[in-house]
Amino acid sequence: MKFTFVTLFSNLIEGYFQDSILKRAIDKDILHMHYLNPRDYSQNKHMKVDDTAVGGGAGMVMNPQPLYDALRELKSQDEDIHVVFLTPVAKPFKQNDAKRLAKKTHIAFVSGRYEGIDERVIEEFADEVFSIGDYILTGGELAALVICDAISRNIEGVLGNSDSLDVESFETPLLEAPSFSKPKNYEHKSVPSEYLKGNHSRIRSLKLALSECKTQFFRPEQLLKHRTRKSYEK
């Protein structure tokens, strides 16, 4: 899978891939990262990429010309490329999107800065737009990294043990049950005794009950979805 980050600040992104699981996937040639700076395409004599907003309003907006030229070139090089814009004005990114997008061959993430990107660029080039939550970041780079990371774990060969994908939160409407590691007792706190007895069917029931408790507390709407799904299955 190839990822291209269209960004004014590739340094903010590159460091993330220099360690751990995603670095190993890059070393194994499973993931390929590329960077494209719209400033390199600017026809302005000072290489400017932003200007004041037409019609007034605070702050600067990213001009269409550098992004049009950069994205046109990118699309002409790969007709299968899937172009994703990061913006708060979009549907929220979900685990299902991560799984769906893991089947693509090449995704470009376009990160805005300042007050955002001239809307005509988004209209012309976006295959999809995503928000990563109801808050405003200073730029789209973090959002692009979040989405790239979530997609990458769903690509064959990226995780050491792909079994771990099946039991994670959001694979079903329920959040994952709490996990414990060794030692069994730590600073007067013990892991739940049922986890220690080796009866796997009882451990599964307890984990389900704990999952439901966590979901009820943090995401009650998800628990409702789980119960509705269960009652349909009966």
Q: What angle do CA 194, 200, 206 make, to 5 degrees?
A: 50
Q: Is 52 helix (H, G, I), strand (E, B) or coil?
A: strand
Cβ-Cβ contacts under 8 Å for 96 (sequence gap 6 or more): none
Instruction: Select 116 or 173, whichever has its Cβ closest to ligand SAM.
Output: 116
Note whether 143 binds ligand SAM by CB under 6 A: yes
Note whether 137 binds ligand SAM by CB under 6 A: yes
Q: Which of 47, 51, 83, 78 is nearest to 64 (CA)?
A: 51
Among the listed ranges 13-21, 31-39, 87-95, 101-109, the one in contact with ligand SAM (CB under 6 A) is 87-95
C-alpha span between 125 and 118 (Å, rounded):
12
**What are the residue ranges of helices labelled H in 168-219?**
200-218
In the bound complex, what is the minimum distance in angstroms from residue 9's beta carbon to ligand SAM?
Answer: 11
In the bound complex, what is the minimum distance in angstroms from residue 46's beta carbon to ligand SAM?
Answer: 22
Strand 82-92 and strand 128-131: the pairing is: parallel
Q: Which member of 22, 140, 177, 207 binds ligand SAM (CB under 6 A)?
A: 140
Q: Which residue is at the shortest CB distance from ligand SAM?
A: 112
Q: Say how many CA atoms lie within 13 Å of 74 toward its Cβ.
A: 28
Instruction: Select 10 or 216, whichever has its Cβ closest to ligand SAM.
Output: 10
Q: Which member of 7, 87, 211, 215 binds ligand SAM (CB under 6 A)?
A: 87
Residues of the shown chain interacting with ligand SAM in the complex, contacts defined by CB under 6 A: 86-89, 111-113, 115-117, 131-133, 135-140, 143
